[in-house]
Amino acid sequence: MRLCMSVAELRAEARRRVPRAIFEYADRGAYDEVTLRRNRAAFDDIELRQRVMIDISQRSVATTVLGQPWSMPVAIAPTGLTGLFHRNGEVEGALAAEAFGVPFALSTMSICSIEDVRAATQQPFWFQLYMLKDRGFNADMVARARGAGCSALILTADLVLQGVRRRDAHNGLTIPPRLTLANALDIMTKPTWALGVLLGKRRTFGNLAGRVEASGGLGTLSQWIASQSDCSITWKQIDWLRSVWPGKIIVKGILDAEDAKLAVAAGVDAIVVSNHGGRQLDGAAASIRALPEVVEAVGGRCEVLFDGGVQCGQDVLKALAYGARACLVGKAFLYGLAAGGRAGVTRMLELLRAELEVSMALTGVTDVREVDARVLRRR
């Protein structure tokens, strides 16, 4: 893993190791992928301001978010089907994050269950909730997250309907999954991956076990989830969440100043400025472009986290300069995991930390908590 010198190199390694259908599930976006490309292009377009002859011998990238100390302002975003990228992927990811001192967010649609991750870890992790029509399911998920001592609940707001990811359809990664000749042949060329995932604790949605009668695995459960997605949820759901969840509430998928104000009015503890990594509304703004207006609308009344296109420490620095408290990483996490399991995720985190520290210092800042718009070059 030490030979991988960037997230791009981890991505290349991931591509070699996992079947194409799995790799592209992580790598690609919705429809024409305009927003997916925008997320990256917008970061590349931002110029940092190089400063010199400042004492940068003492440096720190440690911070606090939602009252908790983090070793750097980066958390692992919730990603569905993570356990298909590497055996027990969610547990491996959570352990890497824990050792590194950053939060791990477990998706409702994970392969390992809440209890699997709880049993393997010492530190509280975050749980991401999709609200389904089955209110009993939602209440049960929250109760399980409480039981597992999760420290925050992320409510994902931007996926009540799913944007179409065309590559998934072509690759047979549909609901239910379709085994095409091409992906069957592809899997045969990845025996290490296949053996690993087959030997994993689970191969279907761990949190939904026993939910669907006589569940035939991914297919039946996926159909159930698709039919269960609740398109009618509104900000009122936050009141319900508050009544059953005493901990922190984070709403993920805010891209608009108006929505940010509504989130604040609903009393959430934090929001994640996010376009779901370009996987939902194609044509939406790059997350980093939307960030300043959201930060302004929030006006410090809740914490603002950020995701979408973060692939290096310089991106983290830019997001902080635009007012984010911290970043979440989705694809970068999955590339690391697919490339090398826990060691791959650790490598990804090490790369981001080192890049952030050096780049921050070269803009003349020595403490990450002091990063602001002064690190950006005005044009």
Ligand X SMILES: Cc1cc2nc3c(=O)[nH]c(=O)nc-3n(C[C@H](O)[C@H](O)[C@H](O)COP(=O)(O)O)c2cc1C
Applying CB under 6 A, does 276 fall inside the site for ligand X? yes
Phi-psi region at 44: left, alpha or beta (left = phi > 0; alpha = psi -120 to 50): alpha
Shortest separation between residue 85's beta carbon and ligand X, angstroms: 8
Nearer to ligand X, 109 or 175 (CB): 109
Check binding of 267 to ligand X (CB under 6 A).
Answer: no
DSSP notation for 248-306: EEEEEEE-SHHHHHHHHHHT-SEEEE--GGGTSSTTPPPHHHHHHHHHHHHTTSSEEEE
Cα–Cα distance measured from residue 280 to residue 161, given in angstroms and rounded to the nearest whole number: 8
Please count the CA atoms within 13 angstroms of the CA of 276 that sit on its side-chain side.
23
Residue 335 or 362 having the CB closest to ligand X: 335
- Judged by CB under 6 A, does residue 313 bind ligand X? no
Report which secondary-structure segment, H or E, holds 360.
helix 331-362
285-290 contact pairs (CB < 8 A, 24+): 285/35, 285/38, 285/255, 286/35, 286/38, 286/39, 286/41, 286/42, 286/43, 287/39, 287/255, 288/39, 288/42, 288/43, 288/46, 288/315, 288/318, 288/319, 288/322, 289/38, 289/42, 290/255, 290/256
- Please tell me the distance from the alpha carbon of residue 203 to that of residue 111, in angstroms, as a whole number: 6
Q: Report the C-alpha gap between 176 and 321 in whole angstroms.
A: 43
Contact call for residue 113 and ligand X (CB under 6 A): no
The CA distance from 208 to 364, in Å, is 49
Whose Cβ is closer to ligand X: residue 28's or residue 190's? 28
Contact flags string 192-221 toward ligand X, x per CB under 6 A: ------------------------------
Q: Is 237 in the site for ligand X (CB under 6 A)?
A: no
Phi, psi angles (nearest 5°) of residue 83: -70, -5
If one asks whether residue 25 binds ligand X (CB under 6 A), the answer comes out as yes
Give the nearest distance from C-beta 261 to ligand X in angstroms: 21
Q: Which residue number has the CB closest to ligand X? A: 330
Query: Among residues 87, 118, 325, 331, which is the contact residue for ligand X, using CB under 6 A?
Result: 331
Q: Give least dist CB 29 to ligand X, A.
A: 9
Total residues in contact with ligand X, by rule CB under 6 A: 26
Indicate which single residue of 14, 61, 77, 218 sits in contact with ligand X (rule: CB under 6 A).
77
Q: Could you tell me if 306 and 60 are in contact, meaning their C-beta atoms sit under 8 angstroms apart?
A: no
Q: Nearest CA to 24 among 348, 313, 325, 338?
A: 338
Which residues have C-beta within 8 Å of that of residue 48, sequence separation ≥ 6?
Answer: 314, 317, 318, 359, 362, 363, 375, 376, 377
Q: Considering only the stretches 78-86, 190-198, 204-212, 369-377, report the one whose residues sit in contact with ligand X under the rule CB under 6 A.
A: 78-86
> Which of 34, 48, 80, 146 is close enough to bind ligand X by CB under 6 A?
80
Q: Does 274 participate in binding ligand X (rule CB under 6 A)? A: yes
Smallest gap from residue 312 Cβ to ligand X (A): 11
- Residue of the chain from 103, 124, 277, 313 that contacts ligand X (CB under 6 A): 277
Q: Which region among 257-265, 298-306, 325-333, 371-379 touches ligand X (by CB under 6 A)? A: 325-333
Confirm whether 276 is a catalytic residue. Answer: yes
Residue 138 near ligand X by CB under 6 A: no
Supply the minimum distance, in Å, between the C-beta of residue 163 and ligand X: 11
Q: Is 310 in the site for ligand X (CB under 6 A)?
A: yes
CB of 49 to ligand X, least distance (A): 25
Catalytic pick from 190, 252, 276, 331?
Answer: 276
Place of tokens 């009544």: 243
Judged by CB under 6 A, does residue 330 bind ligand X?
A: yes
Residues that bind ligand X (CB under 6 A): 25-26, 39, 77-80, 107, 109, 128, 156, 252, 274, 276-277, 279, 307-310, 328-332, 334
The residues annotated with a catalytic role in the active site are: 276
